[in-house]
Chain A
Amino acid sequence: MSSTLPIESKSAGRSGSSRSPLPFSQRESDFDLVGMLLEQQQSLTAVEQFSEAHSAGEIEPSQSVYYRQLLPATPPQPGQQLAFEVNLDSCSGCKACVVACHTMNGLEETESWRKVGTLTIGATESEQVIEADDVIMPTAIDIETSPVTIAGSGIQHVTTACHHCEDPGCLNGCPVKAYVKEPVTGIVRHLDDQCIGCKYCTMMCPYEVPKYSKRLGIVRKCDMCHQRLKTGEAPACVQSCPNEAIAIRTVERVRSDIDVDERLVPEAPLSTLTRPTTQYVTDRADQIREAVPQDSSIDEVAESHWPLALMLIGTEVSVGMIALERFVALGMWLNGSVMPIEATRLTALVSLVIAMVGLNIAPLHLGQPLRAWRVFLGLRTSWLSREAVLLGKYVGALVLATVLLWLPVIAAWTPASLSERIPQWVVVPSWASGAALAASLLLGAAGLYSSAMIYIATRRELWRFNRTMPRFLSTGLIVGASLTALTVMATTESKTAGNLLLLIGAMAGAAKLFWETGLYLGPAKSSGTRRSSSTKTLDERSRRLVQTHLTGVSRVRLFGGWIGVAACMFAMAGIAVGWNTAALLMMTLATVAFLAGESSERLLYFMSVVYDRMPGTLK
């Protein structure tokens, strides 16, 4: 070691001072310094040293001194319910409520039942700024006296949780009654052990409140800490807000004064949808009304729900085939000819197979498929229950119809020993298969209607009736047409039927593509100047999502659709010149292309949806 080091006390101290509990270096002794340090590090002594002062067992929550006045004194009276009240003027945006909810309720790593978004107040468009161009910066600020003021600018944080709505979308949509609106408090509670994880409530709730947990396979949501309220304790968010900005208040249960365009805060969903009970109070309502969420028009691709998309396509194609086959058969009957039984037989079988495939993919969407048998419980309010029950019955009827149609074939293959055992009085009436087919058709149509209504019922603007119903119903027509043409042409020589079906397929396919191109697949109609984000419509936002984030899917959608249309035309040409094999190949191609195109259409339906939401922040 260098002798220039002044504090080198090695030799001086080697004898070991009596004050020193340790030798200098373990290199020079048996003493394990590192081991001792590690051992000391790992011994926890806080309880020994200090717990005495803290051990006194108190039952009454000590925080109660702060939240007493943030709770009502008594439970709600009949006709009333409990509700959150948020004082926007007190909220400083610290977001302690979010973390307290997460912590005190024992939620998962990234789970919290509260969320805080940010509103930007003030000029977001140049024309709103009263400023001379030659001034580099605004010239005056004073809040009240200054002639040129930007006092209206700033930011406002908005804390939001479940709004415990008067007419809860989650509850209405749930197919298994996993939501309860508590009779006394009006708290909308979720029954975790009842939930099948269908996520329909995440679509039905306009406020994005129920959140799906992959680990559990169910959704969970805010229950206003009802277990705390039961003991007179404030909810986690209420007791953790440093500024006392969140309170529980008693409100009237049925408010008649909701305006048609009322929203909790700017760009939030319309309050008429579910009648939320949360009250946002502020003395600066004028300012806040003009505010814009920080994440306004910044949209993300929504969940694809691909098992749902495939299930929808499958059932629609299946029902579409039956419908088209019956339609052609009706036409032939009116023409005095008869649809050959082989064609009907094959069509029904293929239709059944497709329906089965579709319906068997659907449960992949469920987090808790084993609980799904309770799906009938929601029949009174839930379109999802109705769809599930109707499509179930549809498949039942279709199985029956298919078996009846195939009975002669089966009979021919049945060993005599077996068929002889069937008693003589067992007769299958000739009308039975027709009736079963008709029943399938009716049930299927009702099922498809329910399918569409599932999404229409969410009252998301882009999923409204005239956007959803045409998409859902046309799929059966388009894919059904080419596929039925295939099954018919494969089994019969009826050129007219084939041509008619292919024409339907090509025309419906092309019409739908034009429609979709105008809506969201093509470029925006009016190029216009750069517009402020606040004025972008949902359609524009959805179109932008498709064209920036979903180009792959939209390409498949367009190519699939147009190839299908072209293949239908080629198939018709093939039929015309009598190249039957080529025509059949073209029909197969059309079917595959249409299937790809329509599946992509449905994925886009889910993934490109945007809707009004509570304010968020930049990601």
Chain B
Amino acid sequence: MSVDLTSSAAVDLTSANGAKMPLELPQVLVRREGAMTRELLLHPGEHGLGMTHSSMAADTTTTATCGFCATGCGLRLHLREGVAVGLTPETKYPVNLGMACPKGWEALRVLDSPERATTPLLRGADGKHQPIGWDQAFQTFVEGFRGVQERHGLDSVAFLSTGQIPSEEMAFLGALARFGMGIKHGDGNTRQCMATAATAYKESFGFDSPPYTYDDFEKSDCLVFIGANPCIAHPIMWERVLRNRNQPEIIVIDPRRTETAMAATQHLQIRPKNDLALLYAITNYLIQNDYVDQDFVASHTNGFETLREHVAAFDIESVARAAGISPAAVQRAAETIGKGSAVSLWWTMGVNQSYQGTRTAQAIINIALITGNIGRPGTGANSITGQCNAMGSRLWSNTTNLIGHHRFEEEADRRKVADALGMDEQCIPSEGSWKYDRIIEGVRRGEIKGLWVIATNPAHSWIDQSDVRELFGKLDFMVVQDMYHTTETARHANLVLPSAGWGEKEGTFINSERRIGLIKKVRHAPGEALADFHIFRGIAHYWGLAEQFAEWTDPEAVFRILQRLSRDQPCDITGIDGYRQLDACGGVQWPWTEQDAGDDRSDPPQQRRLFSDGRFFHEDGRAKLVVDSVEPMPEPPNAAYPITLLTGRGTVSQWHTQTRTRQSPVLRLLYPNEPYVEINPVDADALEIDHGQKVRVQSRRGEVIVTANVTATVRRGQAFIPMHYESTNRLTLSHFDPQSGQPSYKDCAVRIIPQSN
């Protein structure tokens, strides 16, 4: 066989000229072919797929946005007769450039599970769930919640929603519940992940507007990650960091020595909850050493003087000492930020899930603003979002903000929304919902008696879990709408409504960089499971709201409603030419207005960032520099509970409460199936704990038995348990960021004792 070495075409790397072939024994003695060999045969896949196994052979392909995290990767679905038989990451999608993390690779696999809910389930007198038909389910739903409302008042029914369903369903739920069913209080699990970032942006920029595009990862010469571990939580964003050709400085501020910290050029391994003081000290240093972009500050911000005065009290020396790191390291980091020409600052849950999260996020925003690191390639104060549609939830959930990020309190906003929806203005309430924690508190106080939970799992994920589980017992009527009937929350439900999942329905997600991406219906939902969209339609009709929601016939129709709602908002998407355009051009970042699109409805550029003109969304166009006092953690370690417990993401292959990821056999291979606690070797030694041994971790609220993972990635006096295990939140302390209402999961005091057996 001859090989063309000069051509750039694919070269057969397995054959060579003149290679001596050894004598081959006849097939009867050595069977080189046969049924088992054929099982693994690959064939040219066409459609750009390369060599493809027959199980994944496709007659066509189509792209959908992944339904796990907010990176929003494009997945190439292999379709055979319209049904997805497999997937590979989409090469041309501008987000992930042909890559995906294990969750994305297994996105279809988790749909096939005996744990899927296939019919509505009603709890009988014996306490067991029995299958019922949809007609009875809708009737039970309506009678149940109406009954609660009649007995306890309209406000006694609340809903808890999610960042996992498409914007169209989110909007439907929010409008149906609050404009139709008279439900006053509803919030999403996004309160547990992104509320802080949203609140911080809103106050600082005048709108909840992450300003960046993923291209910024590649364009920075200095990246600062605060409470973020993209290697594990957002591996495809880390891919983009590694594609940065500027040999950037990477500064990681994190109490744990994570994979990201390992890959950093500087790691500030501070004690937990020293981040706000540290950021203020850095800000102070930047101001003292003239690293401030005075022109930008003067013409585009408010509050600089207050900021300067406030941070003056934070000198590097004492802040560093309190944080347990060397002042020189802080100074070096501050110098790096000050001297960088394109500095981007990124944060995730380490900041958001904190009792001072909003102020910490704003301290990050302040640094970007005063150094003029915003609106240019490679810059920004950038919140990395958690869930696939947390960004959609922030715009469309219609809970604490009026749908489309309007204000309930503003009459003009209510009128605008009513017009856009074609609904009576009277149906729009004039105040926002309670936040999640207040709704839970309402259950405790007997104010909430009916609860509708959609695609989230608070019995696992809510802080101080045992308390929540007990509270669910106080409800008169609880409905859980989920793909799986086995979630910890579904077990509490009176009525379980079976949902179709990602891949079984249509709609759009908004990813971290404001990119609206499409999901597609490429799998048959199991049994009688219905898309949440269809469930909402059913409820609308059974509740008697058919006319009000007459236009809400299918997801794309609702998308057009959302476009109307977005008009003249910073998130204006009136220029998008429907789902087909979203599909054809790899998603569209908001804003994309009619004016942007022009008459020819052209495709938008792929990488767009906000604030290139220095105009922010406050009325005066200026960003606000916000500062606040630094508070100590409410439950510091003491002699009885000497260790600070951190929680967070464990591995790439685990997603939140694992209702989905545990359904994939191959994902289960990729993470410890038993819960574990990371503990410092010195502490382990002092406590006489061996690596791999079972230990008891006790807080004032509960106890868990886990495996000790003795590792120097956590510092002395600290321990880390991944949030994915059911027992983790038995330990956490119920406390919240006052501005955003987000739970502070990463600071409670525990003790660890070896399990004697």
**Interface residues, chain A, CB within 8 Å of chain B?**
1-2, 4-10, 12-13, 17, 19-27, 33-34, 37-38, 40-42, 44-47, 49-51, 53-66, 71-78, 82, 89-90, 92-96, 98-100, 102-106, 109-110, 112, 116, 120-126, 129, 131, 135-143, 145-147, 150-151, 153-157, 176-178, 182-185, 187, 191-195, 216, 218, 220, 225-233, 239-244, 248, 294-298, 371, 374, 377, 530, 533, 617-619
**Residue contacts A-B, CB under 8 angstroms, 19 given:** A1-B146, A7-B182, A21-B553, A27-B139, A46-B521, A54-B62, A62-B48, A74-B3, A74-B11, A103-B105, A124-B712, A140-B329, A141-B326, A143-B265, A185-B14, A187-B14, A191-B37, A193-B31, A533-B692
Tell me whether A44 and B522 are in contact (CB under 8 A): yes
Q: How far is the CA of A247 from the CA of B181 in the complex (A)?
A: 58
Nearest chain-B residue to A140 (Cβ)?
B326
Tell me, yes or no, whether B418 is within 8 Å of chain A by CB.
Answer: no
Tell me whether B48 and A61 are in contact (CB under 8 A): yes
Q: How far is the CA of A77 from the CA of B324 in the complex (A)?
A: 56
Residues of B within 8 A of A298 (CB): 691-692
Tell me whether B546 and A183 are in contact (CB under 8 A): no
Of A95, A112, A142, A185, the contact of B328 (CB 8 Å cutoff): A142
Also in contact, A297 and B712, with CB within 8 A (given A25-B544, A126-B682, A185-B13): no
Residues of B within 8 A of A51 (CB): 60, 62, 79
Q: How large is the interface on B (under 10, 10 to 19, 20 to 34, 35 or more residues)?
A: 35 or more
Q: How far is the CA of A25 from the CA of B142 in the complex (A)?
A: 12
Tell me whether A92 and B238 are in contact (CB under 8 A): yes
Q: Which DSSP category, helix, strand, loop or mixed, fits chain A's interface?
A: loop
Tell me whether A7 and B427 are in contact (CB under 8 A): yes
Tell me, yes or no, whether B681 is within 8 Å of chain A by CB.
Answer: yes
Stretch touching chain A among B336-344, B471-479, B670-678, B726-734: B670-678
Also in contact, A227 and B231, with CB within 8 A (given A142-B326, A191-B32): no
Nearest chain-B residue to A131 (Cβ)?
B682
Residues of A within 8 A of B11 (CB): 73-75, 232
Most B-side CB within 10 Å, residue of A78, A153, A297, A617: A153
Residues of B within 8 A of A147 (CB): 326
Tell me, yes or no, whether B312 is within 8 Å of chain A by CB.
Answer: no
Of A12, A41, A137, the contact of B534 (CB 8 Å cutoff): A41
Residues of A within 8 A of B60 (CB): 47, 51, 54-55
Tell me whether B328 and A146 are in contact (CB under 8 A): yes
B155 CB, nearest partner CB in chain A, Å: 11
Residues of A within 8 A of B22 (CB): 183
Tell me whether A227 and B77 are in contact (CB under 8 A): no
Stretch touching chain A among B303-311, B375-383, B578-586, B627-635: B578-586
Of A22, A46, A58, A116, the contact of B522 (CB 8 Å cutoff): A46
Tell me whether A50 and B100 are in contact (CB under 8 A): no
Tell me, yes or no, whether B204 is within 8 Å of chain A by CB.
Answer: no
Tell me whether A99 and B53 are in contact (CB under 8 A): no
Tell me whether A139 and B56 are in contact (CB under 8 A): no
Tell me, yes or no, whether B135 is within 8 Å of chain A by CB.
Answer: yes
Of B14, B62, B97, the contact of A229 (CB 8 Å cutoff): B14
Residues of B within 8 A of A110 (CB): 665-666, 668-669
Tell me, yes or no, whether B753 is within 8 Å of chain A by CB.
Answer: no
Residues of A within 8 A of B56 (CB): 103-104, 106
Residues of A within 8 A of B682 (CB): 123, 126, 129, 131
Additional A-B contact list (10), CB under 8 Å, known A4-B154, A94-B652, A120-B711: A22-B537, A51-B60, A59-B46, A74-B3, A98-B670, A121-B712, A123-B682, A140-B324, A143-B329, A155-B257
Q: How far is the CA of A244 from the CA of B542 in the complex (A)?
A: 54
Of B12, B13, B48, B231, the contact of A93 (CB 8 Å cutoff): B231
Tell me, yes or no, whether B29 is within 8 Å of chain A by CB.
Answer: yes
Of B10, B89, B332, B506, the contact of A232 (CB 8 Å cutoff): B10
Most B-side CB within 10 Å, residue of A25, A54, A112, A248: A54
Tell me, yes or no, whether B298 is within 8 Å of chain A by CB.
Answer: no
Residues of A within 8 A of B3 (CB): 74-75
Nearest chain-A residue to B41 (Cβ)?
A227
Of A5, A63, A95, A191, the contact of B670 (CB 8 Å cutoff): A95
Residues of B within 8 A of A106 (CB): 39-40, 53-56
A545 CB, nearest partner CB in chain B, Å: 13
Nearest chain-B residue to A151 (Cβ)?
B267
Contact with A along B317-359 (1 / 0, CB 8 A): 0000000111011001000000000000000000000000000
Tell me whether A156 and B262 are in contact (CB under 8 A): yes
Tell me, yes or no, whether B15 is within 8 Å of chain A by CB.
Answer: yes
Residues of A within 8 A of B25 (CB): 177, 377
Stretch touching chain A among B159-167, B218-226, B457-465, B715-723: B715-723
Of B45, B86, B669, the contact of A103 (CB 8 Å cutoff): B86
Most A-side CB within 10 Å, residue of B39, B86, B262: B262
Contact with A along B184-198 (1 / 0, CB 8 A): 000000000000000
Q: How far is the CA of A386 from the CA of B303 in the complex (A)?
A: 86
Tell me whether B688 and A530 are in contact (CB under 8 A): yes
Residues of B within 8 A of A374 (CB): 29-30
Residues of B within 8 A of A2 (CB): 146, 149-150
Residues of A within 8 A of B61 (CB): 54
Also in contact, A191 and B53, with CB within 8 A (given A17-B547, A17-B550, A233-B10): no
Tell me, yes or no, whether B82 is within 8 Å of chain A by CB.
Answer: yes
Q: How far is the CA of A47 from the CA of B83 in the complex (A)?
A: 9
Q: How far is the CA of A477 from the CA of B692 in the complex (A)?
A: 41
Which residues 1-57 of B have a CB within 8 angstroms of A?
3, 5, 9-16, 19-22, 25, 29-37, 39-42, 44-56
Nearest chain-B residue to A157 (Cβ)?
B259
Q: How far is the CA of A374 from the CA of B10 in the complex (A)?
A: 39
Residues of A within 8 A of B324 (CB): 137-141
A368 CB, nearest partner CB in chain B, Å: 9
Q: How far is the CA of A10 from the CA of B265 in the complex (A)?
A: 65
Tell me whether B266 and A60 are in contact (CB under 8 A): no
A289 CB, nearest partner CB in chain B, Å: 16
Q: How far is the CA of A358 from the CA of B734 in the complex (A)?
A: 65
Q: How far is the CA of A360 from the CA of B172 in the complex (A)?
A: 69
Residues of B within 8 A of A226 (CB): 14
Nearest chain-B residue to A127 (Cβ)?
B685
Tell me, yes or no, whether B560 is within 8 Å of chain A by CB.
Answer: no
Also in contact, A92 and B259, with CB within 8 A (given A50-B520, A228-B42): yes
Q: How far is the CA of A248 from the CA of B13 in the complex (A)?
A: 10
Q: How far is the CA of A384 from the CA of B718 in the complex (A)?
A: 53
Contact with A along B235-273 (1 / 0, CB 8 A): 110110010000000000000010111110111111100
A515 CB, nearest partner CB in chain B, Å: 29
Residues of A within 8 A of B48 (CB): 58, 60-63
Tell me whether A34 and B538 are in contact (CB under 8 A): yes
Q: How far is the CA of A137 from the CA of B714 in the complex (A)?
A: 10
Tell me whether A26 and B267 are in contact (CB under 8 A): no
Contact with A along B50-89 (1 / 0, CB 8 A): 1111111000111100000000000001010011001111
Residues of A within 8 A of B91 (CB): 62-63, 65-66
Tell me whether A227 and B89 are in contact (CB under 8 A): no
Tell me, yes or no, whether B287 is within 8 Å of chain A by CB.
Answer: no
Tell me, yes or no, whether B548 is within 8 Å of chain A by CB.
Answer: yes
Of B12, B36, B427, B651, the contact of A230 (CB 8 Å cutoff): B12
Also in contact, A124 and B20, with CB within 8 A (given A40-B534, A96-B235): no
Nearest chain-A residue to B528 (Cβ)?
A38
Nearest chain-A residue to B688 (Cβ)?
A530
Also in contact, A112 and B30, with CB within 8 A (given A49-B580, A296-B691): no
Tell me whether B62 and A47 are in contact (CB under 8 A): yes
Of A104, A123, A151, the contact of B53 (CB 8 Å cutoff): A104
B269 CB, nearest partner CB in chain A, Å: 4
Also in contact, A618 and B10, with CB within 8 A (given A50-B62, A66-B98, A99-B666): no
Residues of B within 8 A of A73 (CB): 5, 11
Tell me whether A533 and B690 are in contact (CB under 8 A): yes
Residues of B within 8 A of A192 (CB): 34, 36-37, 39-40
Tell me whether A102 and B546 are in contact (CB under 8 A): no
